A and B are shown apart, each in its own frame.
Chain A
Amino acid sequence: MRNGLAPQTRQFAEDLQILLGRTVCDFVKIDGRILPGGTQAIVGTNLSDFTSRPIRLRSSAETPVWIDVSAYLMLDPDEGLADPKADWRDVLDGSRREYRLKQIRAAVRRHPGTAIRELERLGYAVAHPRDSRSRALILRLVGRVPTQRGVGTGKTAPERG
């Protein structure tokens, strides 16, 4: 295909198809149409001509549930569609930094053993919490449910550290 929008359209369609197929749909078909002029494209479920049509959603509800997804892609030939403010990169970086820090904190809570081993490998000395309140707090955060035998079987049980 000669225009520049086709690869992005194909990739977007494929990503969307894989996402829906692996999550909420048993059968999903996503296609794309490049519109005349080559600067716009439509991606959608079960396309007929350029119109998306609904597909069945996995659901335990008695009434069938359908999902209809369509997306409009646009090539910016003048590279001037968005005119970001001067500090746009700082704003984005700051936002990503906070997101990454939150992810790291969550990962440490979920996999304390791996976090401890990695810190120790780097030369840190990690002190385990000794008081029962701290242990209880950590166990609650990582989802272990104490039982009479003393070993939890919570749904999101962490690895044993």
Chain B
Amino acid sequence: MTTSVHASRPIVSEMSQAEWNAAVDRALTRLHLTYEQLREMACRRDFVSMEAMKLWLAIGEQDEERTRSAD
């Protein structure tokens, strides 16, 4: 994954399901939250931090799609 701060052309990479799952776990761990806690915050529309809201915006929709496709 890219961490550079210098201006170069944007890198666009495709995440595999395994990479995505691992990245979601890392993000939740960093915020000391579980997925369920984050989902409850989304239901209440009351996030504990901007970072939590950003994370839900990124993973919430993806999760809903995954849930639908698993049904």
Binding site for B on A (CB under 8 A): 1, 3, 6, 9-10, 13-14, 17, 21, 27-43, 46-52, 55, 70, 72
A41–B6 CA distance with the chains assembled, in angstroms: 22
A39–B37 CA distance with the chains assembled, in angstroms: 26
Give the dominant DSSP class at A's interface.
Answer: mixed
Q: Is the CB of B61 closer than 8 A to any CB of chain A?
A: yes
Q: Which residues of B contact A47 (CB under 8 A)?
A: 1-2
Q: Which residues of B contact A6 (CB under 8 A)?
A: 12, 14
A53–B5 CA distance with the chains assembled, in angstroms: 10
Q: Which residues of A contact B8 (CB under 8 A)?
A: 29
A46–B61 CA distance with the chains assembled, in angstroms: 22
Q: Is the CB of B3 closer than 8 A to any CB of chain A?
A: yes
Q: Is the CB of B42 closer than 8 A to any CB of chain A?
A: no
In the complex, are the beta carbons of B5 and A3 less than 8 A apart?
A: no
In the complex, are the beta carbons of B11 and A31 less than 8 A apart?
A: yes
B 54-71 to A, binary, CB cutoff 8 A, 1 in contact else 0: 110110011001000000
